Amino acid sequence: MSRLSCASTLARKQPYTFIKCSRRNESTALHFYQNKQLELYASKEPKPMTLRQLVFFGRSMDEDRLVKSANYVRTELPVRIAHRLRDLQKLPYIVVTQEGVAKVYELYWSAFEKFRKYPPITNLQENEAFCEFLVKLLDEHATVIPNLSLGMSLSSPNLAPDELDTFMRRMLVSRISRRVLAQHHIALSQVFAGKHKPWDSSEPNVGIITTGLNVKASIEKCARLLRYQSLDAEGNADTPVEVIVEGDIGMRFSYIREHLEYIVFELLKNSIRATRLKQVGSEAPLTPIRATIAAGDNAVGIRISDQGGGLRNQVQHPSDLFSFSHIRNSTRMEHSRLGSLRTASSYRKGVWATVDEQLENWKRSPDPEKEAGVGKHSSMGIGLPMSNIFATYFGGSLELVSLDGYGTDAYVRLPKLGTNLEAVNF
């Protein structure tokens, strides 16, 4: 039997052989026989949201609305997970049993079962228990991205680049969407219960959405954090690289701050590294990086420009840096990268620290790499693909333009009106 055959086809045609040859992960194989419920949920259409809907719904909370929100999350998440489980089942067998992918499959299957069996929420007390259930699941799933990236990197020779990238895009966008819905509901519940006051934050917010997000402040925060990073191989981290923020510096809009800051942090990190590398051994001051904010009618634009030499021969086309395929991006199967992914796959906390958490960690310890896993993060090679996914989640974009030998411009465009649906492909 070809190990490249589709697992779900196998399950239908040759159940016995399939179980026998699935020693590497028997329980993964067994789930293919419990597909009835999965089919039922995967046949349902998910109900994507806009940012504006999330804000409007969360703005005035009462018990009834909170219970409605809880039940939306309870019923919506298993539908979204079911679609992704089906995607996993459609992968070649050799891929779904790959280290990392099998782990994600197990996590999703278990979460699907838990959600499916969770009874309806009818009051605040039950909602509190539901929030605890969500927090636990969010934590259990903290290592999904490194596990998936590891598994798919190892599987890259078995999948065509388009197939691999489409699969990863669906998995990652869907994951962001599920975490957004879960975290938004938890945040709304906490505010309602008086455990977390919205005015604790210097910026107004509804749930996890900051309704007056100060773009300049976020860029400066990322630049400040990066100033404290020790940049291992490149050395001279003592010489700061200046980040000049210009353009529409008063710009504020409604967005998920962690998403904006993840993107800006990654882009600035790459620009700083390139700038340092270009000027190794030079006495001249390091050329500054310019972050320009543009307030368009429908979108907020951010351009990050460096003079770090451009993307040179890293990839054939800059967008290949977003690819998970080793054919488009040869670094995908590098030994050191796979090693970092393996380490991160078994981390419990810290790998996915937000910029705020990283700053907090830095304040507590002068070594943010150890505390927040940012150093590990930087060598996993998932910063750019993830930034691309974050940018496009609500219909924005990320584009890299290289002026080879001179520098790189990264263009981020994020929708300003909040009227786009989540870009989840079902």
Q: How far is the CB of 225 from ligand COI (least distance, A)?
A: 24
* DSSP per position, 29-41: HHGGG-HHHHHHH
CB of 204 to ligand COI, least distance (A): 26
Cβ closest to ligand COI, residue 70 vs residue 222: 70
351 binds ligand COI (CB under 6 A): no
CB of 137 or CB of 225, closer to ligand COI: 137
Residue 178 interacts with ligand COI (CB under 6 A): yes or no: yes
The single-letter code of the amino acid at 270 is N
Report the alpha-carbon distance of residue 328 to residue 152 in Å, rounded: 14
- CA 15 vs CA 18, 101, 103, 268: distances in Å: 5, 21, 22, 51
Minimum separation from the CB atom of position 134 to ligand COI (A): 6
Alpha-carbon distance of 343 to 150, in angstroms, equals 10
Closest approach of Cβ 98 to ligand COI, in Å?
18
Shorter beta-carbon distance to ligand COI: residue 184 or 276: 184
CA distance 315 to 177: 30
Q: Supply 110's token pair.
A: 């278990």
Candidates 31, 116, 175, 252; binder of ligand COI (CB under 6 A) is 175
Interacting residues of 329 by C-beta distance below 8 A, sequence separation 6+: 315, 320, 321, 323, 381
The Cα 20–Cα 29 span in angstroms is 9
Structure tokens at 358: 């990283």
Tokens of 165: 């990238």
| Strands across the sheet containing 299-305 | 243-247, 289-295, 299-305, 407-415, 397-403
Q: Which residues face 319 on adjacent strands?
A: none
Of the candidate residues 7, 54, 79, 137, the single one contacting ligand COI (CB under 6 A): 137
* Residue of closest CB approach to ligand COI: 141
Applying CB under 6 A, which of residues 144, 256, 315, 384 lies at the interface with ligand COI? 144
For ligand COI, which stretch binds (CB under 6 A), given 125-133, 138-146, 153-161, 245-253? 138-146
- Quote the least distance from Cβ 176 to ligand COI, whole Å: 9
Q: How far is the CB of 182 from ligand COI (least distance, A)?
A: 4
CA 79 to chain centre: 20
The answer to whether 225 touches 355, Cβ cutoff 8 Å, is yes
Binding segment toward ligand COI, per CB under 6 A, in 178-186, 192-200, 248-256, 376-384: 178-186
Largest Cα–Cα separation, the chain = 69
Restricting to residues 86-125, name those near ligand COI by CB under 6 A: 111
Q: Which one of the spans 9-17, 137-145, 150-158, 234-242 is the region binding ligand COI (CB under 6 A)? A: 137-145
Using the rule CB under 6 A, which residue among 179, 278, 326, 337 binds ligand COI?
Answer: 179
User: What x/- string results for residues 182 through 221 when contact with ligand COI is judged by CB under 6 A?
Assistant: x---------------------------------------
Q: Which stretch binds ligand COI (CB under 6 A): 11-19, 131-139, 363-371, 393-401?
A: 131-139
Smallest distance from ligand COI to CB 108, Å: 7
Instruction: Name 195's Cβ contacts closer than 8 Å, sequence gap at least 6.
Output: none
Structure tokens at 394: 């609500």
Residues forming the site for ligand COI (CB under 6 A) = 111, 134, 137-138, 141, 144, 175, 178-179, 182
